[in-house]
Amino acid sequence: MRIFASLSLAVLALALVPATQTPAQAQAVAQTPPMGWNSWNFFAEKVTDKDIRAAADNLVATGMKDAGYIYINIDDTWEGQRDASGILHTNAKFPDMKALADYVHSKGLKIGIYSGPGPKTCGGFEGSLGHEAQDAQLYASWGIDYLKYDMCSFIPEVMEKQAPNDKAAQMHIMYDAYAKMDKALKATGRPIVFSLCQYGWDASWEWAPQVGGNLWRTTGDISPDWDRIYSIVSQQAGLEKYAGPGHWNDPDMLEVGNGKLTLAENRTHFSLWAILAAPLLAGNDLPNMKPEIKAILTSRDVIAINQDSLGKQGSRVYSEGETEVWTRPLAGGALAIAVVNVGDNRYSTHPFHLSLAKLGLHGPQAGKDLWTGKPITLTDNQPLELASHDVLLVRIDAPK
């Protein structure tokens, strides 16, 4: 099919959706942002069956399951070879994926897996190219509940080879690849969360729901350092209209508890993912989690913001100097407000004065400071001093 550059890519994406599928069908899962744990940030390519079983145990033992973390997701490097029939087998690190899935399910949890539309995954293992329906049926037979589908080799090996120097045609090929796996997953009859990992290419938020995406990456990979986290947060501004129940912008996995992030940075990272209605996929060392990290990851009040049933992603309302103010509308007319010192100074050069008028509020606002658990009343032009990279996160149940 000839692709004309003038053709709207959004229209093109819609044209790829099978006639029997509508975006509403993709919303049977992930009605709130998925919560769980992914193996990559801590184990990377070294992850094993034993590690996943231990992660399931620890998600229960730490109270994270009770806080809402239900997915245990295996990232890359579980794949072995395909047999003569094309069936993909696991490698020696994962001797029995069905038994592993059964173990995870026995804990009251769900299990996720990883693949990609190319011939190889990011780690050089077997991808799903040409085996989409076969792999989807295999995942369903194992009891898989979540699929992270990563571009990697698909870009140079398929998109660039089939349509050199033709971006419109390349994008068509990418849409078709994700739509093909979505169709294959739905054909299994098993509810499986479909996570598109393609780094925000071609404004993924505009077309991903139409090819079955329940969540889609909006940027490149995260890392456990403030500059990268803040860069990713900044790129989310303006994307709020694309998120909602069953389809979420994904600024990548959580780095809470990883690297050399300060306690304030961990707290702010988690607060902003809550404001952004982002998936909460932890990636830390669960058995050695420090109490203060556990307190952040299991904060019921902050998680309630993230999981709010209204499903509205928050937005950056305004910034002033080194301070930014984000808000998120919540069910029942409530409002979450995050005030963040994004600067590197220990304290702002002068107190930040919160403008309630800019937030559409008038008069004193009675709320709750979600990190101290104490009541707080916000007033117009109120001076606030925050430590570097720290946050004030407030819930107002009856804003005026």
Residue 332, in any domain of the structure? yes
Same domain as 120, residue 235: yes
Residues 356 and 293 in one domain: no
Backbone torsion region of residue 139, taken as left when φ is above 0, otherwise alpha when ψ lies between -120 and 50, otherwise beta: alpha
| Whether 276 contacts 48, CB under 8 Å | no
SS3 172: helix
Are residues 390 and 295 both part of a single domain? no
In this prediction, residue 347 carries a pLDDT of 60
Written as tens digits, the pLDDT of the chain (400 aa) is 222 222 333 433 434 443 334 444 444 899 999 999 999 999 999 999 999 999 999 999 999 999 999 999 999 999 999 999 999 999 999 999 999 999 999 999 999 999 999 999 999 999 999 999 999 999 999 999 999 999 999 989 999 999 999 999 999 999 999 999 999 999 999 999 999 999 998 999 999 999 999 999 999 999 999 999 999 999 999 999 999 999 999 999 999 999 999 999 999 999 999 999 999 999 999 999 999 999 999 999 999 999 999 999 999 999 999 999 999 999 999 999 999 999 987 665 568 999 999 999 999 999 999 999 999 999 999 999 999 999 999 999 999 9
List of residues 6+ apart from 184 with CB closer than 8 A: 132, 133, 135, 136, 137
378: domain range? 315-396
Which position has the token pair 């993230």?
Answer: 306
293 and 364 within one domain? no
Instruction: Tell me what pLDDT residue 351 has.
Output: 85
Q: In this structure, are residues 30 and 215 in contact, taking their beta carbons and an 8 Å threshold?
A: yes
pLDDT at residue 346, rounded to an integer:
65
Give the per-residue pLDDT at 349.
Answer: 53
- Rounded to 10 deg, the angle between the 167-187 and 132-142 helix axes is 40
119 in any annotated domain: yes
Residue burial 267-291, b: 16+ Cβ < 10 Å; e: rest: bbbbbbbbbbbbbbbbbbebeebee
Instruction: Give the whole-angstrom CA distance, residue 116 versus residue 196.
Output: 9
The reply to whether the predicted model has a pTM over 0.75 is: yes
- Rounded CA separation 141/188 (Å): 9
Are 352 and 232 within one domain? Answer: no
Q: Are residues 257 and 350 in the same domain?
A: no
Amino acid making up residue 234: S
Among residues 255, 289, 306, the one where a domain terminates is 306
Rounded to whole angstroms, the maximal C-alpha distance in the chain is 71
The single-letter DSSP state of residue 2 is -
Token pair, residue 120, equals: 């190889």
Both 105 and 208 in one domain: the answer is yes
Rounded Cα gap, residues 325 and 359, in angstroms: 9
Q: Number of structural domains, the chain?
A: 2
Rounded to whole angstroms, the Cα distance separating 72 from 179 reads 25
If phi > 0 it is left, if psi is from -120 to 50 it is alpha, else beta; for residue 233 that is alpha
Q: Indicate if 273 and 340 belong to the same structural domain.
A: no
Kindly report the CATH number assigned to the domain that includes residue 17: 3.20.20.70
Residues noted as catalytic: 150, 221
Q: How buried is 182 (Cβ within 10 angstroms: 0-12 exposed, 13-18 middle, 19+ buried)?
A: buried
- Domain shared by 350 and 280, yes or no: no
Q: Locate 366 and state its tokens.
A: 């009675």
**Which of 240, 274, 306 corresponds to the end of one domain?**
306
Q: Residue 292 to residues 21, 263, 295, 298, 370: CA-CA distances in angstroms? A: 45, 8, 5, 10, 15
Query: How many Å separate Cα 275 from the centre of its chain?
Result: 13
How far is residue 138 from each of residues 62, 186, 259, measured CA to CA in Å? 32, 13, 36
What confidence score (pLDDT) does residue 345 get?
76
Residue 167 sits at φ, ψ, to 5 deg, of -65, -40
Residues 248 and 161 in one domain: yes
Residue type, 304: A
Packing angle of the helix pair 97-106, 132-142 (nearest 10 deg): 50
